[in-house]
Amino acid sequence: MAVERVAERAPARPPVWNDPRFRAIFFQALVLALVIGVGAYLVNNTLTNMEKRGIASGFGFLGTTAGFSISTTLVPYTEESTYGRAFLVGLANTLLVSVIGVFFATILGFIVGIARLSRNWLVAKLAAVYIETLRNIPLLLQIFFWYFAVLRNLPSPRQSFILFDIFYLNIRGLNTPAPVFEEGFGWVLLSAVVAVAAAVSIVRWARRRREETGRPFHTVYTSLAILFGLPTLATLLAGSPLHWEYAVLEGFNFQGGMVMSPELVALVFSLSTYTASFIGEIVRAGIMAVNRGQTEAAYAVGLSPGLTLRLVVIPQALRVIIPPLTSQYLNLTKNSSLASAIAYPDLVLVFAGTVLNQTGQAVEIIAITMAVYLTISLLISMFMNWYNRKMALVER
């Protein structure tokens, strides 16, 4: 009976609050109003507070003289430089530690990941212990451990550990010889660039020829010969324009040469060992994700174990490995901000530390710092998306 009546009645227009289109607009407007409202409220409070207390604002401070000194500088910097320049110094130091960290973390991570899959029981267990220990202890604690507990117990410069008579390890850091470039070194650099270009084009040519004619060409030895031979030749012709400056103990510190501060050493060491434990797991998962049938099929068509690994397993494993690997690189870069806890002058210590304290412009400085990290991570995720798309095409 009820059924009949419903069927007879023309479908009533639903009330406006039940109309999906109205609702969509309503809720979106609500969210938008909320976001803008909260944002405007906070901005308004901040402006009111700053104006009332007479706190300086704006980005003019970036152009004023900094007046403090920084121990590690990649970018030319003196006490007379501006705060803007100090920002660049901090940023360069952050990037330096991230790049070195990524380099070592990748190598160590791949070793650990492959070791974990080793058929050798002892090696596999050792790798497992490494991974499970390091990834379950906070990174900051590991940084403190290496910096305060281990590197602090190194001897004073006079009693340095000496390696090969040119490296000196002491509580002030690791002193190494520094390269000194003389006139004519430009030619060596130029020859190196030419050598790289030549090697790349030979590899390309060899691949094309192999694809077209099937005749293989041994690119490895040729490229190596070009890569090493050409710069060496250029060096000899230009009259050895490169010299090494050695560190010498003078006064109470080493003078000359290069020094890697203990802060940098501790930071790079702990960042790469910590991240390596995560990369190890990613590598293991990636290799295990490649179907065993793939390896067997490769053997069946007569590929050698080396070629199987290079042409079949690794390309497929990489597809699984690369996305989480990039996010580990991103984590490493973000984690390098912990430098501020152990006096390594990175972006956070120099800019969100010293500059913030000297100028007192918290809002601008924290905003810039966050924006920098955000930009780095957006760039990395853009790369990741690009790579994923590329890989997806290959799959078809």
Q: What is the per-residue DSSP string for 90-136?
A: HHHHHHHHHHHHHHHHHHHHHHHHHHHT-S-HHHHHHHHHHHHHHHT
Site for another protein in 260-299 (CB under 8 A): 262-263
Q: How far is the CB of 41 from another protein (least distance, A)?
A: 4
- Residue number with CB closer to another protein (47 or 288): 47
Pick from 219, 222, 359, 388: which binds another protein (CB under 8 A)? 359
Contact (Cβ atoms closer than 8 angstroms) between residue 271 and residue 342: no
48 binds another protein (CB under 8 A): yes
Pick from 22, 59, 103, 148: which binds another protein (CB under 8 A)? 148
The stretch near another protein (CB under 8 A) out of 25-33, 82-90, 183-191, 209-217 is: 25-33
- Residue number with CB closer to another protein (148 or 181): 148
117 binds another protein (CB under 8 A): no
Q: How far is the CB of 28 from another protein (least distance, A)?
A: 4
Contact (Cβ atoms closer than 8 angstroms) between residue 323 and residue 384: yes
Pick from 374, 382, 385, 389: which binds another protein (CB under 8 A)? 374
95 binds another protein (CB under 8 A): no
Contact (Cβ atoms closer than 8 angstroms) between residue 372 and residue 91: yes
Site for another protein in 297-356 (CB under 8 A): 334-335, 337-338, 340-341, 343, 345, 348-349, 352-354, 356
Give the relative orientation of helices 83-116 and 314-335 as an angle to the nearest 10 degrees.
Answer: 140
Q: How far is the CB of 341 from another protein (least distance, A)?
A: 6
Contact (Cβ atoms closer than 8 angstroms) between residue 347 and residue 90: yes
219 binds another protein (CB under 8 A): no
Q: How far is the CB of 281 from another protein (least distance, A)?
A: 11
Q: Spell out the residues 6+ positions from residue 329 whose beta carbon is closer than 8 angstroms to its own.
A: 98, 102, 380
- Residue number with CB closer to another protein (197 or 367): 367
Rounded to whole angstroms, how far apart are CA atoms 191 and 228? 10
201 binds another protein (CB under 8 A): no
112 binds another protein (CB under 8 A): no
107 binds another protein (CB under 8 A): no
- Residue number with CB closer to another protein (200 or 370): 370
Pick from 13, 119, 215, 218: which binds another protein (CB under 8 A)? 119
Q: What is the per-residue DSSP string for 330-379?
A: HHHHHHGGGGGGGT---HHHIIIIIIHHHH--HHHHHHHHHHHHHHHHHH
Q: Compute CA 145 distance to the chain's CA centroid, rounded to the nearest angstrom.
A: 22
Angle at 151 between CA 149 and CA 157, to 5 degrees: 135
Q: How many residues bind another protein (CB under 8 A)?
A: 93
Q: How far is the CB of 104 from another protein (least distance, A)?
A: 18
Rounded to whole angstroms, how far apart are CA atoms 40 and 46? 10
